Amino acid sequence: MSRGVTIAVFLALLTLIPCAMARAEGQPQAGGVTVTLGTDLGEPLYRASGFLHGFTDDGLVPPDAAVTGVKMRLHRSRPNATWKQAARLKGLGVVQQVVISDGWGYGKEHPGDNGNWEKWETFVARMVTEAKTRGLDPQWDIWNEPDHKFFWQRTPEQFLETWKRGYRKIREVAPDAVIVGPSWSAIRPGHPRFTGFVLYAKANKVVPDYLCWHFPKDMVAEVREARALVAREGLTLKGIAINEYTLKEQQYAGRTAWLIAQIERAGVDESCHAIWGDEGKGSLDGVLFDAKAGTPKGQWWAYERYARITGRLVETVPSDKIDLVAGKDEKTRTARVLLGNVGKFDGDLKVRFTGLAQAPYLVGDGRVRVLVEMIPENKGQFVQDLPIVSDQTVEVKDGAVEVTIPWTSDRDAYSICLSRGWYNISRRSGIQQTSDRDAYAILLSPPQAK
């Protein structure tokens, strides 16, 4: 399609595009959830461990342990804060994403008003040049939520021109820069404007490296629909991003863990926890109770237990209310699971682990140790440590074990750790429990005579 194709033609084409949504993978099962340890989905990438405006603008807060404990991958912020935070975030191994429109501002003046595009192009070039001068190579988000009236008060056509000119100016100054967008607020795959943006970007050779939107209603189906659109158009992207998730009313441990699991199930490539009132306070979007001290809330613990999933991810089957992400690690001889609650579920949840024959390092004397911890919401207050719900060795039958979680509140999340269990522990000398509650270790030397 030629560069001369007009936006009007795109809008006409959109009426011919169906909005069918793909059915989600990992169909929910009745009566419980399943972890299939005999599978291998690759190494954990911690796709959900990103935050929007999670640091103070100077980058000094929160402390390192609060960041490394959740294996943070991505931080999204405004230009001036990005420059100040850069040295620390680089040291922590965190990728920065800078929102250009946050530097421009969301007042009366918009790019291209009265046909004046020079000011916008000059502004974009200055931002990218400043980053290069500082030795930075962040991701570039051209405009935040151009479908939201707070952030954009002009026509859709003027936004598309803003995107095109901004994209080309970034490429002119930094040809290899990573560009993300369009960061829709409420427009999702299947919507005419979502499809129209992709068609426009393709025709004008301004396709983002990461195609992104905010606050999915059906994470798995929407990501599948977006990937299908990209494939139909023959495009190659670095990935799909959800660079804001968690609505204000979803800021609690149970829902956060459920969203983390959904991001993993959908195969989102990167994402950011959204912020609602804690911008620039260094609380990682409100998941810390005390930002300076780094003291956690239940939400932080959900990310921390997610970060403890190491080795290889495995397949899981959710229920209609509970989703989960799990992994197994031969080096640590553990398997770990994070379980979240979409809401309105309490009661006994059966968690079945199959494929233990393919993870023999978890089994000892035909038994496996199963540690279940609650991740309490605690009304958004400080959570010092996680309560142990149960800690037992369970007999393996037909390569499987089952544990029941007494889920008392949909505001809470849960974590499970499987490790080598010992039948008749008292028969073995020199047994020692690790401080991490991960496993029992057998001392190879016999007890010393007294």
Residue 198's pLDDT band, with cuts at 50, 70 and 90, is very high
| Structure token digits, residue 7 | 């936006």
pLDDT at 333 over 70: yes
Residue 277's pLDDT band, with cuts at 50, 70 and 90, is confident
Residue-wise pLDDT for 226-249, tens only, equals 999 999 999 999 999 999 999 999
**In angstroms, what CA-CA distances link 95 with 75, 225, 270, 271, 361?**
6, 27, 10, 11, 35
pLDDT at 23: 28
pLDDT at 183: 98
Residue 10's pLDDT band, with cuts at 50, 70 and 90, is very low
β-pair type (322-329, 139-141): unpaired
Which candidate, 352, 347, 333, places its Cα nearest to that of 410?
A: 347
- Main-chain dihedrals φ then ψ at residue 161, nearest 5 degrees: -65, -40
pLDDT at 89 over 80: yes
Residue 315, beta-bridge partner list: 36
Spatial separation of the C-alpha atoms in residues 62 and 75, rounded to whole Å? 13
Rounded to 5°, angle at Cα 223 from 218 and 227: 155
Superfamily of domain 312-423: Glycosyl hydrolase domain; family 39 (2.60.40.1500)
Residue-wise pLDDT for 134-161, tens only, equals 999 999 999 999 999 999 999 999 999 9
Residue 400's pLDDT band, with cuts at 50, 70 and 90, is very high
- Tell me which of 132-136, 362-366, 442-446 is least confident: 442-446
- Tell me which of 15-19, 75-79, 254-258, 395-399 is least confident: 15-19
pLDDT at 12: 36
Residue with the two structure tokens 């990209």: 230
Which candidate, 221, 184, 237, places its Cα nearest to that of 27?
A: 221
Q: Give the per-residue SS3 of 426-446.
A: HHCCCEEECCCCCCEEECCCC
pLDDT at 437: 39
pLDDT at 19 over 80: no
β strands within 206-311, DSSP E: 210-214, 239-245, 270-273, 288-290, 295-296
58-70 average pLDDT score: 98
184-201 average pLDDT score: 98
- Main-chain dihedrals φ then ψ at residue 438, nearest 5 degrees: -85, -40
- Check residue 356 and report its DSSP letter: G
Spatial separation of the C-alpha atoms in residues 152 and 170, rounded to whole Å? 21
Residue-wise pLDDT for 243-253, tens only, equals 999 999 999 99
pLDDT at 427: 26
pLDDT at 323: 98
β strands within 291-346, DSSP E: 295-296, 312-317, 322-329, 334-341
pLDDT at 441: 30
The dihedral formed by the CA atoms of 97, 99, 103 and 105, expressed in degrees to the nearest 10: -160
- Mean pLDDT (the chain) is 89
3-28 average pLDDT score: 37
- Check residue 26 and report its DSSP letter: S
Rounded to 5°, angle at Cα 51 from 48 and 156: 95
355-380 average pLDDT score: 97
Which candidate, 391, 351, 373, places its Cα nearest to that of 298?
A: 373
The dihedral formed by the CA atoms of 6, 7, 10 and 15, expressed in degrees to the nearest 10: -130
Question: Which H or E run includes 305?
Answer: helix 298-307
Residue with the two structure tokens 């999670």: 54
Residue 27's pLDDT band, with cuts at 50, 70 and 90, is low
337-358 average pLDDT score: 97
pTM, two decimals, is 0.88
39-64 average pLDDT score: 98
Residue 403's pLDDT band, with cuts at 50, 70 and 90, is very high
Residue 278's pLDDT band, with cuts at 50, 70 and 90, is confident
CB 34 within 8 A of CB 354: yes
| Structure token digits, residue 300 | 């932080």
- Main-chain dihedrals φ then ψ at residue 220, nearest 5 degrees: -65, -45
Spatial separation of the C-alpha atoms in residues 265 and 287, rounded to whole Å? 23
pLDDT at 282: 98
Buried b (16+ CB within 10 A) or exposed e, 27-51: eeeeebbbbbbebebeebebbbbbb
Residues in the chain: 450
Residue 440's pLDDT band, with cuts at 50, 70 and 90, is very low
pLDDT at 5 over 50: no
pLDDT at 210 over 90: yes
Select from 3.20.20.80, 3.10.620.30, 3.40.50.300, 3.30.360.10 the CATH code of 46-307.
Answer: 3.20.20.80
- For the chain, the structural domain boundaries read 46-307, 312-423
Contacts of 172 (CB under 8 A, 6+ apart): 125
360-375 average pLDDT score: 96
Contacts of 57 (CB under 8 A, 6+ apart): 80, 81, 84, 85, 280
310-335 average pLDDT score: 98
